[in-house]
Amino acid sequence: MEQAIELFAAINFLVIGLSHVFQHRAWAEFFILLHRQGRPGAFANGFLSLITGTLIVAFHNVWTGIPVILTVLGWTFVLKAGLIFLVPNLGLRSMARVRPDNSRMFVIPGVMLVLVAFALGFSLWRRWIGVA
């Protein structure tokens, strides 16, 4: 099950990360739209983190090697979602920083997601060929 979650995350992080890099303006528009919705928009953002985070922490309790990155990210997503659900104005404040003219702020997190995807893919590949 742990390898399945790693593959799930690697694929999702690769696609979302590349999208952040090449479609940063669309991501800015998305978060501006969520911000306009007020607290329900913050909750929608929280659900995205909660679903991914709980899926990871429920099925990926790995605390060694490269896969530990995924476990830590999972708990980070759960913590982020918890903060948004308990203090939605905090989530709104974060989304308020997004403007069309600073959409490139999504590029760095996108690159980070791509790097995590490649690290997870490399780790999976090594286990599949019997190296690790």
pLDDT in tens, the chain (132 residues): 889 999 999 999 999 999 999 999 999 999 999 999 999 999 999 999 999 999 999 999 999 999 999 999 999 999 999 999 999 999 999 999 999 999 999 999 999 999 999 999 999 998 888 776
Among 54, 95, 58, 61, residue whose Cα is nearest residue 77? 54
Among 116, 89, 98, residue whose Cα is nearest residue 26? 98
Output DSSP code: residue 102.
G
User: pTM for this one?
Assistant: 0.89
* pLDDT the model gives residue 128: 87
- Range of the structural domain that residue 118 is part of: 2-128
Q: 39-59 and 68-86 helices cross at what angle (nearest 10)?
A: 150
Two tokens at 65? 């090697």
Give how many domains the chain has, as a whole number: 1
